């Protein structure tokens, strides 16, 4: 068996960088609507960046003093009217583009139980309310210019990937084709997101792998692991906890996790639903489907350069590049007294609070370390919990980190929201080393090799049957001396014959040299000319695409402008009605006062 080289996730620079090479953790706040039986809110959106925390009437702090209203600033704020797509576009769309460009990203939802974390992350696709995950998958698959055949790439068990021989890959594909889909998720009425982002390299082929991890009671479990069959009447075997390992580049990963190759949003979501069915979900007083564990859905993009033909991926595993986007749905943190948890549920709440507290401690330590010199920086307690240990690389500069703070504005959540806002405020002060741009080594070609090959094939097809060969050699006669007169003084005139032989031999050699040089220059000119024409044609097509996009944007702007004018007219009419009612109320009040006198 031939040895295989290992393909690792790209390494990152670990040394300290200047402040201008860092970006703050972007924290977004999303408010869920109040329940139908509630009318008073303790959190109110002021504008697109600020929220106000309003203490409920009669609330007293532990020190006996009444609390004050507090304003918090976020990267962006979404009130209860914000759509799922709006939230995705502002928090996650650029993360999808980064993954396609070879960079990593981490996004997690944080908040108390029932604040809308799971809804924000997954939504309800059946009801056309896709969350971040379905939008991410749609746009990712729409944006990949070319995908490798399935089973070409396989996980190596050490956080990397290997390239399989084509024969082995064909057998694997044949076995996959025999499997019967078992998804219980209905995509029939779902409307996918048809948008795409730029960044895919046309000289690379791509493959998408997903994995689904649960961290329950500080133990990592593989939600996609195939469980062994049990005999009838026998209890199912409990899942096996997985350890965390570090690869050769220092990246943390879950050992022996199942990574499934998917080729569409439907296939990826089928794996997600499979994992959801295995998640530990327990009923609490707050939320009938409250997740009692942290979930991590990893999307890994494997990319390989094409060979010289521009048609097949290279078979060298060391040339593979892997990027990753981790979507984390954190379990809610609530007081046991409030949820009336007992026994196992109480133990779960304690473990959840411990992991979230460790996350908060890591954030606090990172803030402190930024204010001191590197030699005096304290150790960040990543290892205290599986959750923080798994994602420590992101906070050390592996990729972008995003947090969506989901808030239930109910007054019953006021005290929990105080802690949530405090943590969010601290997280925004943490600066992450900016991930370096990935060099795919395509030589800065103006167009891809695949595009050039495709264009040349089109040209060859168009020129077929035309005389476009090497020019007539008669054109070279102007470069040669005139031959000596063909005169012989007799059959023994060897001198004249020698002169003629020498002339024509010299002319033949010159003709060969000139012909070869001219043919080489013609070939070089033809290649350069074709390259320029291909670039011009590619730019022309791009301009046409941009013009179409511009027309679509202008149409959308016109629609929004008309909608704005209509809303403005309705608002003016409402103001007039309110003013009329206020005037009538004032007249009525004045009459009542006059009657009392």
Query: Rounded distance, CA 546 to CA 537, Å?
Result: 14
Other residues' Cβ atoms within 10 Å of the Cβ of residue 445: 13
Pairing, β 260-262 against β 204-216? antiparallel
**Structure tokens, 224:** 């996609």
The response to whether 115 counts as a known ligand-binding position is yes
Query: Rounded distance, CA 308 to CA 453, Å?
Result: 10
Query: Rounded distance, CA 398 to CA 17, Å?
Result: 13
Quickly count helices (H) and strands (E) in the chain. Answer: 13, 22
The response to whether 113 counts as a known ligand-binding position is yes
What is the DSSP track for 391-433? THHIIIIIEEEEEEEEE--BGGGHHHHHHHHHHHHHHHT-EEE
The response to whether 114 counts as a known ligand-binding position is yes
The response to whether 342 counts as a known ligand-binding position is no
What is the DSSP track for 297-313? EEEEEEEEEB-TTSSSB
The response to whether 70 counts as a known ligand-binding position is no
The response to whether 397 counts as a known ligand-binding position is no
433 membership: H or E segment, kind and range: strand 431-433
Are the C-beta atoms of 300 and 323 separated by less than 8 Å?
yes
The response to whether 317 counts as a known ligand-binding position is no
Q: Where are the alpha helices (DSSP H) in 43-92?
A: 84-91
Query: Rounded distance, CA 416 to CA 406, Å?
Result: 12
The response to whether 117 counts as a known ligand-binding position is yes
**Structure tokens, 471:** 């020019």
Are the C-beta atoms of 46 and 71 separated by less than 8 Å?
yes
Tell me the CA distances in angstroms from 371 to 25, 77, 376, 430, one per residue in order. 16, 28, 10, 10
Based on its alpha-carbon atoms, the radius of gyration of the chain, rounded to whole angstroms, reads: 34
Residue ranges of the annotated binding site are 111-118
Residue ranges of the annotated binding site for ATP are 111-118
């Amino acid at each position: 068996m031939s040895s295989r080289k290992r393909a690792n996730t790209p390494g990152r620079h670990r040394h300290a960088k200047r402040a201008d090479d860092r970006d703050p953790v972007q924290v977004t706040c999303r408010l869920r609507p109040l329940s139908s039986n509630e009318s008073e809110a303790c959190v109110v959106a002021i504008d697109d960046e600020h929220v106000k925390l309003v203490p409920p009437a009669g609330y007293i702090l532990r020190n006996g003093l009444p609390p004050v209203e507090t304003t918090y600033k976020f990267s962006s704020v979404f009130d209860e009217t914000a759509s799922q797509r709006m939230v995705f576009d502002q928090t996650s769309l650029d993360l999808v583009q980064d993954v396609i460009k070879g960079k990593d990203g981490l996004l997690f939802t944080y908040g108390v139980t029932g604040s809308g974390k799971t809804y924000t992350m997954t939504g309800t696709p059946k009801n056309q309310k896709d969350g971040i995950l379905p939008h991410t998958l749609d746009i990712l698959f729409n944006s990949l210019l070319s995908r490798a055949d399935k089973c070409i790439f396989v996980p190596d068990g050490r956080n990397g990937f290997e390239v399989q021989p084509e024969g082995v890959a064909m057998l694997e594909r044949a076995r996959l084709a025999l499997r019967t889909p078992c998804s219980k998720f209905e995509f029939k009425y779902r409307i996918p997101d048809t948008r795409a982002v730029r960044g895919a390299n046309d000289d690379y082929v791509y493959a998408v792998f997903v994995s689904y991890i649960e961290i329950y009671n500080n133990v990592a479990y593989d939600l996609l692991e195939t469980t062994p069959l049990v005999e009838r009447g026998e209890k199912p075997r409990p899942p096996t906890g997985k350890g965390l390992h570090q690869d050769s580049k220092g990246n943390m990963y879950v050992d022996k996790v199942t990574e499934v190759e998917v080729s569409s949003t439907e296939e990826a979501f089928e794996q997600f639903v499979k994992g959801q069915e295995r998640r530990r979900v327990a009923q609490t007083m707050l939320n009938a489907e409250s997740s009692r564990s942290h979930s991590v859905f990893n999307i890994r993009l494997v990319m390989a350069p094409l060979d010289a033909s521009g048609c097949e991926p290279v078979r060298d595993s060391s040339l593979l590049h892997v990027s990753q986007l981790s979507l984390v749905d954190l379990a809610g943190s609530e007081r046991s007294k409030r949820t009336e948890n007992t026994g196992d549920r109480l133990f779960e709440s304690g473990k959840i609070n411990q992991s979230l507290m460790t996350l908060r401690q890591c954030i606090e330590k990172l803030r402190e370390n930024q204010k001191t010199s590197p030699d005096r920086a304290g150790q960040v307690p990543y290892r205290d919990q599986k959750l923080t240990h798994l994602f420590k690389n992101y906070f050390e500069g592996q990729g972008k980190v995003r947090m969506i703070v989901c808030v239930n504005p109910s007054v019953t959540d006021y005290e929990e929201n105080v802690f949530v806002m405090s943590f969010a405020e601290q997280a925004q002060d943490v600066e992450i080393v900016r991930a370096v741009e990935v060099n795919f080594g395509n030589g800065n070609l103006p167009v891809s090799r695949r595009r050039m090959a495709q264009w040349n094939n089109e040209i060859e097809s168009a020129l077929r049957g035309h005389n476009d060969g090497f020019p007539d050699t008669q054109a070279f006669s102007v470069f040669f001396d005139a031959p000596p007169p063909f005169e012989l003084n007799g059959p023994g005139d060897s001198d004249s014959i020698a002169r003629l032989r020498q002339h024509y031999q010299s002319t033949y050699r010159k003709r060969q040299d000139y012909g070869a040089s001219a043919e080489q220059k013609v070939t070089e000119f033809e290649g350069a000319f074709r390259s320029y024409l291909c670039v011009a044609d590619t730019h022309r097509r791009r301009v046409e695409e941009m013009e179409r996009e511009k027309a679509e944007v202008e149409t959308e702007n016109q629609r929004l402008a008309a909608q704005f004018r209509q809303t403005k007219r309705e608002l003016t009419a409402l103001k007039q009605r309110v003013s009329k009612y206020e005037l009538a109320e004032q007249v009525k009040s004045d009459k009542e006062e006059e009657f009392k006198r």
